[in-house]
Every structure is written in structure tokens, then in C-alpha cells.
Structure 1
Amino acid sequence: MAQDVKSGVSGSQSDSLFEPNILKRYSFDKVFAIATWVATFFGLTILAILLFDVFSDGLPRLSWSFLTSFPSRRPSAAGILSPLVGSIWLLVTVAMIAFPLGVGAGIFLEEYAKDNWFTQLIEINIANLAAVPSIIYGLLGLQIFVRWMEPITQGRSILTGALTLSLLILPVIIISTREALRAVPDSLRQAGFALGATRWQVISQQIFPLALPAILTGTILALSRAIGETASLITIGALTYIAFLPDLSPKGLQSPFTALPIQIFNWVSRPQEEFQINAAAGIIVLMMVLILMNSTAILLRNKFQSKR
């Protein structure tokens, strides 16, 4: 009985000793939570204001003629046909180049490469390259693909832009692929090896199908970044005015090109208000393309997850 009284007294003393610290900590947590809510609300408010301004200016300009007309010096007759087709060409070509290279590199580094100083050096460089500004990739593409590989790429062409943007998003695809493979339990690998399967059979038939939804999501998000890049395309010399469409053949990859971000940048730099309205309409079209790509990522992820 006496021990219970002593323990009760000591417990009340400890509670009174730690109560100020607990109250102080909880009050700090409340302040931090309020600050994060304020920051979030401020960012969403600014975004809403920008979207309202863009849509109020650009929606009246959107029409079928705007989508099917070439750029023009007359703002009332200007359209985005060649930039839109150029962006689609870039998107398809970048996907064909970056997806197999990035996924293959991610599988090799995660499943095959041994942990030594060389692979650690590669991993550090990949992580650093993911944070390099896009204009640096533009300078690299200008030197390698425009100047050194001019007989192959024909200088400032769709192929040059696609190769430059592929370098830009390769680190992101490699990192997302490795993270998706790490999320698959090791027990599946051990079970496959125990049944006598080779490493490639385990990866191709068990690991890769389970990691594919996350890989596709990361790849499409990386492509979404590529389609909105401007600095790297300006650096390699993408044109701001093209009144023709590239050939729908392999030779079309060597044609000059423009893209939606380049055309929007060109219109924004004009002093006439009509070109500013055209730029707002172009921004809406670019946003619709990005939303379509992100929706595709969600649908593909849900489709492959349902097959598990």
C-alpha cells in the first residue's frame, strides 16, 4: 500500500515535471501545422489566380481554326498546328529513346550490378544529373547532337531535340525504375530462384510485371516534364516560326521543328495584346496535353494493378 502511494506520488511529480515540455511541444506542432496550411493555401490561391487569368484570356481564342492553322505574323490568323505536331513528334520520339534506355539501365543497376565503387559512382552521378538545370542539357545537346553529329541529325532537327530531352529525363526514369523494383518483395525473387528459374526469368516474369505500373507512372511524369521544357530547346536552336509539317517518315526526324513551349515563349515576348491572348490559348492547349498524359498514366497504372 505504501509502495503504491509512493509510486502515485512519484508519478504525479513526473507528470508535473514533463507537462510544460509536452505542452510546449504540442503548441509548436500546432504552429507548424498552421504555417503549412497557410503556405498551402497561399500557393493554391496564386495558382487559381494564374489559371483564372489564363483561361479568361485564352478560352475565347480557342477554336478549330486556331488548332489547324500555322503561326502567322497576323495574330488573328495565327494558330498552333506546327508547334502542336512538333510537340507530339518530340513526345513520341523521346518515349521511344528514353523508355528502353532508362528502364534497361534501372533494371541493370538494381538487379544485376554488384555493389562496388564503380556502381556507387554511377548512382551518385545519376542522382546529381536529375537535378541539373535543363539549359545545361541544352548546351550539351548543342555541342554533341548539333555540331558533332550533324551528318546524322542534320543539325537543329526533331532528332536533335528528342535526343536532348531524352538525356534530360533519363535520370528520372532510371531512379523511378529502381524505386519500383525495390518495392517488389525479395521473397518473390528468392521463390523464383528456389524453383530453378534464372535471374532473367525471375525479372521478366515476376518482378517486372509487378513494377511496371510504377515504372509507367514515373516515365509519363518524366515525359510531362520534357514536353514543357523551353530552355533546352531554345539552346539547341529550335525555330520559332515554321509554316509546314514534318514528314511522317524516318526522314521527318531530320526536319526543322518547333514546339508548343517555344511558340508560347515567342508570343509572350511580343508587345501586341492579341499575341498575349494567343499565348494564353497555347498555354491551355499545352495544359490539356499534360492532363491527357497524366490521365493516361493513371489509367495504365490502374490497368496493370488490376492484373496482379
Structure 2
Amino acid sequence: MRITEQQPGVSKRYIDPDSVTKRMDGRKVINTVFRSLFFMATLVALLVLGILFYRILSQGLGFLSAEFFQNFASRIPEKAGIKAALVGSLWLMAVVAPVSMFLGIGTAIYLEEYAKKNRINDLIRMNISNLAGVPSVVFGLLGLTIFVRALALGNSILAAGFTMSLLILPVIIVAAQEAIRAVPQDVREASYGMGATKWQTIVRVVLPSAIPGILTGSILALSRAVGETAPLIVIGVPVIIHFLPTGVTDTFTALPMQIYDWAKRPQADFQQVASAGIIVLMAFLLFMNSIAVLIRNKFQKRY
């Protein structure tokens, strides 16, 4: 049996119900297959994440104590602590966060609001996007050449902070560009219509609307900076120190360096100490992310 279908101004065509049923059945099968594949992929990812969390928590919780946060690094696992590394990471983020966010957001504002649409600026935007995929060790070599040797900053907090800022700068720029570009043009034109200048429009209209997206990219970028080890190794950041830095020109160590040193040691107890250090690093990341999420949610409710 065939069904005749006719539209105004179109000749008649015949539809076979059996063929329609077969196509629908085929689509349902494909949909079921892909849904099952995606579900299995999610289960595998959750399983791996669960195993990782279980291994880290089961090995590291026993070493988490007040002494672990108060002691410096030691060759004896029971006396090893994370005090210098934790304070060093706080100092490092105190340099990386303002430098990278100021330069990144400022660059994004210029490229999206002020720069003309031409081939040169398009090339700049494309190269910034490509820099986001460059291996971190390359930025470490760049930091070693410019900050450690040319500017004679040594393996200080300032040199490491500038190096890490270069590492995450492309990610922040791209995220900020996308957030600024997502603000409707009608909002800008309404601001201009009310007599606001371009700078007033950017500060009072565009940036408040784009802050949630900007912070999302910044969260991911800063989280990467906290956990990177290769650039710190290249610029010569020490693994073990027994003092706390008092300024940005002092030598320091960081959580990834300390965890890396513990993990590569042959003693089995140091593997558990490394797991305890990973727990501290994860808590540090969650604390940073929580602050950024609170700020982002506040602006999302307001705008």
C-alpha cells in the first residue's frame, strides 16, 4: 500500500510505509548503539577516576597530620612535611593570578573591542590560539632564557610566576575573547545610545556580562599552573628547602615539585607521602576553584 502526498504547486509523490518504517527502525538502532557507547565511555571515565581517588585516599590519609603541614621535607618518610611546598605554591599563585589575568583580559579586550578586523589581527588571534597547545616544557625554556638568565631573576618566585603566567596566558586570552564576543552587540549599541563612551561601555556593560565566562577560563588555566612541574624543573626550582620565602625574589619550592620528588623515590613509604601531598594539592585546587565559582555565580545572578 502506498500513501499519496501532495503539496500545493508540487506534483504527487508516493511514500512507501514499509520503507519509512525501516528507516525509523534503523535510526532507532543507531541511536541505541551510540547511546550505549557514550554511556560506556562515561562509566570507564568514572571508574578510572574512582580508582584514582581510592588509591590516593587509601595511601595518603594515614600521613595527613598536623606534623605533615608543619614539617619541612626530610629523607625520613615519617618526618617529611609539606610546609615549604605549600607556602611556596601560595606565593607562586600570588604572582601568577594577577599577572596572567591582567595581561590576558587586557589583551582580549583590545583584540575584541579595539583592534581592527584585518589579516594581521586575524593572524595574531590564530597564533594565540595555537600557543594554548604548546607543551609546557617549551615555556619553561622560554622562562629560563628570559627571566632566569637575561633578567637575572634566578630560580625565584618572580621568575617562576612570570613563566607560569606565559604558560596559561593563551588559555585566558581565548576564554576571555569568547566571553566578550558572546555579549550581544545590541547591549553595546544601547549603551552608546545612552551617551556612554566606549570605555564606559566596556567597563560597565561588557565586562560584567562576560565575567562568568572569563572566570571559567581563568579557573581552568590557574588549575593547570598549580599542577605543572616541567617549567619549574627547567628553570631550576629546588625540590627540598628548609626555609620559607619572605618575598618574590626568594628561592622556593612548590607542591608539584615536592610530590614529584617523593613519587620517584624507591622507598614504599614515600609513595604514601606522595599520595598525601596529592590530597593537599587537590584540596588547594578545590579551594581556588570554589572562590572563583562563588564570584562567577554572584555576577551571573546580577547580570
In the alignment, the residues of structure 1 paired with residue 140 and residue 76 of structure 2 have an alpha-carbon distance, to the nearest angstrom, of 31
| Alpha-carbon separation, structure 2, partners of 1:261 and 1:11 | 69
1:206 paired residue number: 205
SS of the equivalent of 1:295 reads: helix
Could you tell me which of 273, 281, 293 is aligned with 1:298?
293
**AA aligned opposite 1:270:** R
Asked if 1:256 is matched to 2:255, the reply is no
User: Residue 279 of structure 1 aligns with which residue?
Assistant: 274
CA–CA distance in 1 between the matches of 2:165 and 2:114? 23
Once superposed, which parts of structure 1, at least 4 consecutive aligned residues long, lie more than 6 Å away? none
Residue 181 (structure 1) shift: 1.0
Equivalence map 1:215-230=2 (5 Å): 215-230=214-229
1:40 aligns with 2:24: no
Q: Distance in 2 between matches of 1:284 and 1:229?
A: 16
Q: Distance in 2 between matches of 1:107 and 1:13?
A: 56
Q: Distance in 1 between matches of 2:115 and 2:3?
A: 64
2:284 to 280, 289, 306: 289
Distance 1:280 1:12 in 2: 69
Q: Deviations over 1:266-304 (max 9, x none)?
A: 000001111111100000000001111111121111112
Report the TM-score, using the length of structure 2 for normalisation: 0.94
Letter in 1 for 2:75: R
The whole-number CA distance in structure 2 between the counterparts of 1:5 and 1:80 is 77
Aligned counterparts, 1:43-192, within 5 A: 43-150=45-152, 153=153, 155-192=154-191
Give 1:79 shift. 0.2
Cα shift at 1:113: 0.6
Q: Which residue of the partner structure matches residue 26 of structure 2? A: 24
**Deviation (angstroms), 1:14:** 3.3
State the superposition RMSD in angstroms.
Answer: 1.7
- What is the Cα deviation at residue 204 of structure 1? 0.9
Q: Give the aligned partner of residue 243 of structure 2.
A: 244
Whole-angstrom distance in 1 between the partners of 2:17 and 2:116: 53
- For residues 77-103 of structure 1, the C-alpha deviation after alignment (integer angstroms, 9 at most, x for no partner) is 110000001111111100121111000
CA distance in 2, matches of 1:147, 1:121: 30
Q: Give the whole-Å Cα distance in 1 for the aligned partners of 2:302 and 2:44.
A: 41
| TM-score, length basis structure 1 | 0.92
Distance 1:73 1:5, change over 3 A: closer
The whole-number CA distance in structure 2 between the counterparts of 1:22 and 1:126 is: 45
Asked whether the 8 Å contact 2:140–2:163 carries over to 1, the reply is yes
Task: Give the match's secondary structure for 2:79.
Answer: coil
* Distance change >3 Å, CA 7–CA 274, structure 1 → 2: closer
Paired AA for residue 116 in structure 1 = N
What is the deviation of 1:31? 0.9
5+ residue gaps, structure 1, are none
For 1:239-269, what per-residue CA distance to the aligned partner results, in whole angstroms no more than 9, with x for missing partners? Answer: 110100011xxxx212111100110000000
Q: Secondary structure at the match of 1:253?
A: coil
CA distance, structure 2, for counterparts of residue 177 and residue 6 of structure 1: 55
As a proportion of its length, which structure holds more helix? 1
